[in-house]
Amino acid sequence: MFACLDFAPGQLPADRPRYLMGVGKPDDIVGAVERGIDMFDCVLPTRSGRTGQAFTRAGPLNIRNARFAEDSAPLDPACPCPVWATWGRAYLHHLVRSGEILGAMLMTEHNLWFYQSLMADLRSAIAERRLAAFAADFRDRYASARLA
């Protein structure tokens, strides 16, 4: 995808918005924005939320994993959404594992906040001409967490 995006946006009119359909993962969005993409749509924040995957600045996590059963930490301490302020990981783990619809709702709400916050931060980084530094920092934290 990035090989295509290294080429295609340069072929499009500079004064028109560039839309990339069906993307995507947070690190793919950051890389696409670096390559000139302006707009996205994707089911990932909601579909992943319904299946127990949360996106965080420290990488994705699956709340279904047993290691969260006793974890009272916030879902994502860096997230401004109301989900973390009210419910810890252990309760979300319980809700999702039990098939309670509230679990899917809360995980989805968090993921939508995460994506909105990421896009707001990308817009600020572009306006302040620090997109490359923002993207490098995002990738460092997001990728290193996935290896943990």
Report the site for Zn ion in 102-121 (rule: CB under 5 A): 110, 113
For the bound state, the minimum distance from the C-beta of residue 137 to Zn ion, rounded and expressed in Å, comes to: 20
For the bound state, the minimum distance from the C-beta of residue 47 to Zn ion, rounded and expressed in Å, comes to: 17
Per rule CB under 5 A, is residue 89 in the interface with Zn ion?
A: no
d(CA 106, CA 108): 5
Per rule CB under 5 A, is residue 81 in the interface with Zn ion?
A: yes
d(CA 51, CA 69): 16
**Judged by CB under 5 A, how many residues of this single chain contact Zn ion?**
5
| Cβ neighbour number for residue 37 with a 10 Å cutoff | 19
Per rule CB under 5 A, is residue 138 in the interface with Zn ion?
A: no
Binding interface with Zn ion (CB under 5 A): 79, 81, 83, 110, 113
